[in-house]
Structure 1
Amino acid sequence: MNAPFPLHRHLNVESIKVGYPVGRHVQEIVHGLTFALARGEIGCLLGPSGCGKTTVLRAIAGFESLLGGRISLGGRELSRTGFTASPETRQVGVVFQDYALFPHLSVWDNIAFGLRKLTMAERKARVDKLLSLVGLGSHARLYPHELSGGQQQRVALARALAPRPDLLLLDEPFSNLDVDLRERLALEVRDILKELGTTAVLVTHDQHEAFAIADHIGVMQNGEIVQWDTAYNLYHKPGNRFVADFIGQGVFTPGIIDLPNQQVNIELGTLPLWQGVDVCDTDQKDAHQVDVLLRADDVIHDDGSPLQAEVVRKAFRGAEFLYTLRLPSGQMLLALVPSHHNHAIGEKIGIRLGADHVVTFPAEGQASGS
């Protein structure tokens, strides 16, 4: 695939192919994947289980060889077909999913483990600085089993950062933590990496983690990056139906594009094209069927609206409810509603369209003209 950005940045992953032997054949898991990061940028590979994201991370770390393509870091070639620099020579740090802390070493000694070439004074200065940075200065003499999951994660991060790696890889580092802690720690990790100017790649299936930590996110499907973009663009300008469905919460509702009147007609009302509607198939705009992506924040609860929808499901989220609503036609919608509007299952509520940026795709089953 062609890179949607210039290569020859700090980290360059160029058209890599990775696979595993299955009998006499090799099953390719990653198919010509490309991305690049400038020094100090944080990238994320986001996707469902089995899409190949961890395999890409292992290839960058040097744990997997390449069937094709090239990986370079800081101008130094790390991998190509027939050549794989050993992991210990790459200047790449890794934070593993299970943290992989040494249980018999204290927090201080865990962080200092990779600093044996430094003098004792240099080691002490480096470890003390990192302990302060990750907020564990008073925990230096404790052991991993005496720490919470979030504290262990911070120790693993500090240990990986201690040798000043050229690149840090984070393999689902928050998956063992509860949901509320994940996003908060992701933001803290981002602050730490930015303060140190560390280039990093995160692998996760959790879009909230990706949004919290990454400058650029590559949504992966079947061993390929289908869109490399900012969190904002992935949410508001998904490049295809898979990204639209995977990112955020939303549903597709049928619509008709009426180009002469510059509008899209859906059951909830009319969306003028100038209002920011992106038609993803420009060859089929004129009065044709489309699927309009409506996010939960595009549907507004309004007691005064004549359009009524039945509450089918509800999920309490503290400040708000996520309601699943059924329109008179049977079409389902999602709506985020402030939690003081506590409606019962089966109750009908007034709603209106509040979308100012809606993405449409050719209706499923319709041939694409692109």
Structure 2
Amino acid sequence: MTSRIAAPAHLRVESIHVAYPTGPVVHEIVHGLSFSLDRGDIACLLGPSGCGKTTVLRAIAGFEPVTAGRIELGGREISRKGHTAPPETRQVGVVFQDYALFPHLTVAGNVGFGLRRLDASARRARVAELLDLVGLGAQAEKYPHELSGGQQQRIALARALAPRPDLLLLDEPFSNLDVDLRERLALEVRDILKELGTTAVLVTHDQHEAFAIADQIGVMHEGLIMQWDNAYNLYHRPADRFVADFIGQGVFTPGTVDLQNQRVRIELGSLPLWRGVDVCATDERDARVVDVLLRADDVIHDDASPMRAEVVRKAFRGAEFLYTLKLPSGQTLLALVPSHHDHAIGEKIGIRLGADHVVTFPVNTAAYANPNP
């Protein structure tokens, strides 16, 4: 029986550093960042403003040199210290935040702009194919100012895809759209990219966009990827406190670990630990104080529960309320409750734990208790 050899990664970013001179001082933005991406996969660099995610995208595109490390695309080295292949030779498409459409060209003219090497017949056929793919075949002769923001975004996507790039980069492409349209368009873009088998990297600060479009997500902080994972693990198994705080909504509540019974006790009750919890591995005592991450969906509204909590804040979300609740100890937590349960500020409601596991952190540290189920 012969073993299968895994195909090499289509995009490989290895320990890159990127720095900008600021007067006499060189300011390093990215510090030894690494990730890889298989052909046809969609990745997202997710993080707050100033974390370095757009700088990484610009380095992949060839707009910024790396001061250390290397970048490979399709097995070809495109960046290393002292060598930056020109952007036009990389076969990389870019969708910019402001779309960068040419106002004097029609929709068809914009999409066909990068196809000047094709003859007129082949160019028309490719433009028509892409416009149909993005659902704008009937808009070919219109101009960008005649289109909505969502339509302009689709035209920018079609233009970037027209030359069949080896890699597509999307720099905050939905940031100019309203909140409802962002997630819907992200799902549409994912469908288009998957249909074409296009490898892509998205940059965003919006986790809902990231969850909607990406196969793998790298959460960035201060020039580093803190965790490279799928959306489920980022939410339920965050690698450190930064990821836990940045992804989803939750609070840290004090807990006591019972190693003998492999449980953690908090004010709301007791929950089992995952096997091999690292926070406990070096401590042979029967108990240890930890911080327990509780998400808003870990707390269930239950009128029959003896545990009561006071409503101190509420935010209407349509189908749900996000309640901020105060326990008898004064500890606060969050709960998502169906919106037909409309409770007043100051009212006490019954709650219970709805989690089947917990993520724990040593108190006042960023160490992670790896679940390893």
Q: Percent identity?
A: 77
Determine if contact 1:15/1:32 at 8 Å carries over to the other structure: yes
Match runs of 1:302-321 below 5 Å: 302-321=302-321
Give distance in 2, aligned partners of 1:168 and 1:311: 47
Residues 176-235 of structure 1, C-alpha deviation per residue, up to 9 Å, x if partnerless? 111111111000000000000000000001110001100100011110011101111111
Structure 1's 280 and 209: CA in aligned 2 closer, same or farther, altered over 3 A? farther
Give distance in 1, aligned partners of 2:56 and 2:197: 23
Give distance in 2, aligned partners of 1:285 and 1:273: 15
Structure 1's 367 and 173: CA in aligned 2 closer, same or farther, altered over 3 A? closer
Structure 1's 7 and 309: CA in aligned 2 closer, same or farther, altered over 3 A? farther
| Partner SS state of residue 210, structure 2 | helix
Determine if contact 1:131/1:137 at 8 Å carries over to the other structure: yes
Residue 204 of structure 1 aligns with an amino acid whose one-letter code is T
Q: How many residues align?
A: 364
In the other structure, the counterpart of 2:146 is 146
Range moving further from structure 2, 308-317 or 158-167? 308-317
Residues 217-273 of structure 1, C-alpha deviation per residue, up to 9 Å, x if partnerless? 001111001110111111111111111111111000000001112211100001122
Structure 1's 201 and 368: CA in aligned 2 closer, same or farther, altered over 3 A? closer
Residue 150 of structure 1 aligns with an amino acid whose one-letter code is G
1:252 and 2:234 aligned:
no
TM-score normalised by L of structure 1: 0.95
Structure 1's 317 and 55: CA in aligned 2 closer, same or farther, altered over 3 A? same
Give distance in 2, aligned partners of 1:343 and 1:41: 44
TM-score normalised by L of structure 2: 0.94
Give distance in 2, aligned partners of 1:325 and 1:235: 21
| Partner SS state of residue 288, structure 1 | strand
1:161 and 2:175 aligned:
no
Residue 55 of structure 2 aligns with an amino acid whose one-letter code is T
1:103 and 2:99 aligned:
no
Quote the RMSD (CA, aligned, Å).
Answer: 1.9
Residue 262 of structure 2 aligns with an amino acid whose one-letter code is Q
Range moving further from structure 2, 281-290 or 154-163? 281-290
Give distance in 2, aligned partners of 1:367 and 1:88: 43
1:282 and 2:262 aligned:
no
1:92 and 2:89 aligned:
no
Q: Deviation at 1:304?
A: 0.8
Q: Deviation at 1:318?
A: 1.2
Structure 1's 252 and 279: CA in aligned 2 closer, same or farther, altered over 3 A? farther
Determine if contact 2:239/2:368 at 8 Å carries over to the other structure: no
Match runs of 1:119-130 below 5 Å: 119-130=119-130
| Partner SS state of residue 128, structure 1 | helix
| Partner SS state of residue 99, structure 1 | coil
Determine if contact 1:17/1:28 at 8 Å carries over to the other structure: yes
Determine if contact 2:51/2:220 at 8 Å carries over to the other structure: yes
| Partner SS state of residue 282, structure 2 | helix
Give distance in 2, aligned partners of 1:103 and 1:219: 35
Give distance in 2, aligned partners of 1:212 and 1:297: 19
In the other structure, the counterpart of 1:233 is 233
Match runs of 1:19-34 below 5 Å: 19-34=19-34
1:118 and 2:121 aligned:
no
Residue 283 of structure 1 aligns with an amino acid whose one-letter code is T
1:295 and 2:295 aligned:
yes
| Partner SS state of residue 333, structure 1 | strand
Structure 1's 167 and 368: CA in aligned 2 closer, same or farther, altered over 3 A? closer
Determine if contact 1:279/1:361 at 8 Å carries over to the other structure: no
Give distance in 1, aligned partners of 2:368 and 2:355: 25
Determine if contact 1:281/1:368 at 8 Å carries over to the other structure: no
| Partner SS state of residue 114, structure 1 | helix
| Partner SS state of residue 181, structure 2 | helix
In the other structure, the counterpart of 1:273 is 273
Q: Deviation at 1:323?
A: 0.8
In the other structure, the counterpart of 2:334 is 334
